[in-house]
Amino acid sequence: MNNNQALQQLLQWKRGQIDPSEWGIPKRTGRGRRSAGLSQAQVAQALFVSERTYAALERGDMASPAREFLDAVAKILRMEERERTALYVYALGYEPPIPMDPLAGTNVAPAWQTAVNNVSGQPCYINDVAWNVLAANDDFVRMFPQVDAQTPRLPEQNLLRWMLLREDAREHHLVDWEKRWAAPVAAQLRTAVAAHPTNQDLQRLDKEVNEDPVAGPIYRNHNLAYVHPDGDTRVMRHAGYTAPEGCPDLRDRCCERHSPSQLGYVTMCAAQPFRSPGARFFFLVFEPERR
């Protein structure tokens, strides 16, 4: 099956799922073949285009249809996110750049949370499109600088706010903060704000970071384009690191206030829950510095 055939079958199937009576259209009577669902003419009328124009899309004869037109078709035919993605791939050859649902990326299925919570021995977490932590295991929570090592906790629910605006991150936890951390993280925020202009959490972060005297100038520097950190390795202190048996304990204090931590390198392995575009699942692989 080629893309045109797949596109035709997808659109015909979606038309067939909608009862015309839901649109106030009476059932057709008289002679002739009566197929279930909406006709091409009815879909075209809802799209404010000619039947010929819509039929060309359904046949795969429309060269490079506009994204706005495809989004209108997806809305009229009540497509789910994955069906809209297939529509784009069949019609244009690539996935849609922005999710259809404005709430996409703000939550994940409960099974993801259970999976993360059950991981032991490897720091991992899930954040939403605005870097709010949706789920995190104990190993991840223990990575952060702790005032009381007996009761570890996340320093803040929003990781990006912590990374860019908090002294613990800038001065203690994230080593070489301005170059290795702040610049790429600020670029990520710029990209996310542009991609999700209606997300209120991102709009608040944009304002807070822009107004911060330390992070603001970095944020306003557009020399670096950056989307995600998958595969990046950066220097940090790991507050929950425990040396393997037989290896010396090289932890020390970054300051008098925080518990001892291990200096080392973290590599970020990122993936996306496909039903929540924009959310991210992270495994953090830590390698201690050998001194």
Are residues 129 and 268 located together in one domain of the fold?
A: yes
Q: How many residues are present in the chain?
A: 291
Does 41 share its domain with 166?
Answer: no
Quote the pLDDT of residue 19. Answer: 86
Same domain? 80 vs 139: no
pLDDT, average across residues 168-188 = 92
pLDDT at 260 over 80: yes
- What is the per-residue pLDDT for 204? 96
Question: Taking residues 219-225, what's their average pLDDT?
Answer: 82
Q: What is the mean pLDDT of residues 269-289?
A: 90
Is 98 contained in some domain?
no
The CATH number of residue 201's host domain is: 3.30.450.180
Last residue of a domain, one of 43, 59, 92: 92
Structural domain count of the chain = 2
Q: Is pLDDT above 80 for 224?
A: no
Assigned domain for 221 exists: yes
When comparing pLDDT for 225 and 199, which is higher? 199
Q: Check whether 27 has a pLDDT greater than 70.
A: no
Find the farthest-apart pair of alpha carbons in the chain and give their distance in angstroms, rounded: 88
Q: Which of 99-103, 173-177, 268-272, 284-288 has the weakest average pLDDT?
A: 99-103
Amino acid 98: pLDDT: 77
Q: Is 102 inside any structural domain?
A: no
Kindly report, residue by residue over 146-165, the tens digit of the pLDDT: 777 677 788 899 999 999 99
Give the residue ranges of DSSP H helices in the chain: 3-16, 40-47, 51-59, 67-76, 81-92, 110-117, 138-141, 159-165, 167, 183-195, 200-211, 215-219
Whether residue 132 sits in one domain with residue 26: no
CA–CA gap between residue 272 and residue 215 (Å, rounded): 27
CATH code of the domain in which 21 resides: 1.10.260.40
Residue 105 counted as domain residue: no
Of 153, 150, 140, nearest to 241 by C-alpha is: 140
Of the candidates 37, 58, 92, which is a domain's last residue? Answer: 92
- Same domain assignment for residues 134 and 261: yes
Task: Read off the pLDDT of each residue in 104-113 and give the average, rounded to a whole number.
Answer: 85
Whether 135 maps to a domain, the answer reads yes
Task: Considering only residues 195 and 171, tell me which one the structure prediction assigns the higher pLDDT.
Answer: 171
- Is residue 191 assigned to a domain? yes
Look up the pTM and report it.
0.74
The verdict on 139 and 245 lying in the same domain is yes
**Does residue 47 register a pLDDT over 70?**
yes
pLDDT at residue 275 in the model: 80
Residue 147 lies in a domain: yes
Are 142 and 213 in the same domain? yes
- Give yes or no: residues 259 and 121 share one domain: yes
Q: Which residues of 119-154 are buried (b: 16+ CB within 10 A; e: fewer)?
A: beeebbbbbbbbbbbbbbbebbbbbbbbeeeeebee
Looking at the structure, tell me whether residues 153 and 21 fall in a common domain: no
Lowest-confidence pick of 87-91, 123-127, 173-177, 251-255: 251-255
In this structure, are 276 and 133 located in the same domain? yes
- Judge if 269 and 158 occupy the same domain: yes
Looking at the fold, whether 149 and 10 belong to one and the same domain comes out as no
> Whole-number mean pLDDT of the chain?
87
Matching residue, tokens 């200096």: 263
Mean pLDDT of 136-142: 93
Confidence check: pLDDT of 249 > 80: no
Structural domain boundaries, residue 214: 110-288
